[in-house]
Amino acid sequence: NVEFLQCLNQTHHSKRWSKSREKLDFRKFASHLVRRVFGYIATKADHEMLNASSNRHLKGDGLEVMTQAMMINLQNLMLHNVDSSSDQVTWREEKLFAYCYNIVFRAGYLSLYGNEAFDSKTSQEKAKEKDRAESEALYDEFRKYDQLFPRLAYGVLPPKKRREATKLLEYFWNVLSVQKLKGRDNISRWIWDVQEGKDNAGVKEDMITRYMFVLLWASQGNTGPSSFWLLLFLMKHPEAMRSVKEEIDKAVRESGQEVKPGGPLVKMSREMLMKTPILDSAVEETLRLTAAPLLTRAVLQDMTLKMADGRQYFIRQGDRVALFPYSAIQMDPEIHPDPRSFKYDRFLNPDGSKKTDFYKAGNKVKYYTMPWGSGASMCPGRFFATNELKQFAFLMLLYFEFELINPNEEIPEIDYSRYGFGTMQPDRDLQFRYRRRY
């Protein structure tokens, strides 16, 4: 209910809402969902363990390590053949959603779950080739599962599709098994931490393996679609494209690096990514327009929830409360004027700093966008996910020219079947072309 969340947003800091939150819990619903969709039986310690590991390795100094891993893997997938002279002049044509999802998913997977090991018998280049091939095969299977996901989550898959989903799960449990991951290089400390924590807690190995797929879907199921929308909005708004590209070129120059034919690849640091406020705003605007999570809570006790306008709702123990910030906050014209338009500088102040002051009915709102959820259930990997988006856009704008085949083609509608599961996906793809800038 739109009005429900609007009132909720206004009363978030009040004591009565604090008391209400004690009677609402996200874990019960989440446990039910991951068992149905991933075959994983959750434990009480899952949430705290995941948050602790994410705080260590997906933000702060740990994020610096992940940024370097993501850079190396993105460059392997996007730029491994840049020295070919034909690549300098030939336009390549592909489908935009398929391209973005493919590259970002594969680079994220390799950064988290490691690379093919190489030694005196296997050259580094051969190992990189195997990374490209193996991650491509994994992505193809992931997309099959991803397309089944909404109906699987709602429990309405027909028997034939249900059997297909089960076979896909078994494929991922094999690829991501604890034993197979032990043979890979550069596995992220995040993944190692989670594995060790569960092992020390006495969780069986087959259940740890299932959790590995839960983490893959949770970490990589939304960044690829988000990268599609970001590139599409930039191509449809030339001023935004120009401003972001100039900012990225400037960041490279200030780092003392240069992109030139035959020159070394740019070493993208987290420090460079922190100097891109225009790109930050474009990313946040993209998520405002396309991220639509459903925040579901189980009601633990009978309760009366009082709204700021005086209305009251009686909620029974055993009920579920679902909040949908996409329509109630992110599309609210009072908080975000002209909410359906992409405004790349919406989250910038006139002086170029990040804008965080948004108002409704004269009152400053704390949550003006909620792409990552909120409170205790807020996505613990949001900093890594944002970095993934920015790094992909950074490399695309730095190394390539790209454009829609049909510049006048309308922006696709969203696939409404995916409402509530994160970043929305388009109901159709668009053709684009790209080539090296230099």
d(CA 51, CA 47): 6
Please, what's the b/e burial string for 103-133 (b: 16 or more CB within 10 A of its CB; e: otherwise)?
Answer: bbbbbbbbbbbbbbebeeeeeeeebbeebee
d(CA 404, CA 419): 26
DSSP 362-427: TEE-S-S--TT--GGGS-TTHHHHHHHHHHHHHHHHHHEEEEESSTTPPPPPB-GGGTBSSB--BS
Beta bridge partners of 293: 420
Longest Cα–Cα distance of the chain, Å, equals: 73
Going by the annotation, the residues of the binding site for heme are 379
* Closest by Cα among 23, 54, 30 to 44: 30
Going by the annotation, the residues of the binding site are 36, 222, 320, 379
d(CA 108, CA 359): 36
Q: Give the type of residue at 247.
A: E
Going by the annotation, the residues of the binding site for substrate are 36, 222, 320
Contact 357, 364 (CB under 8 A): yes
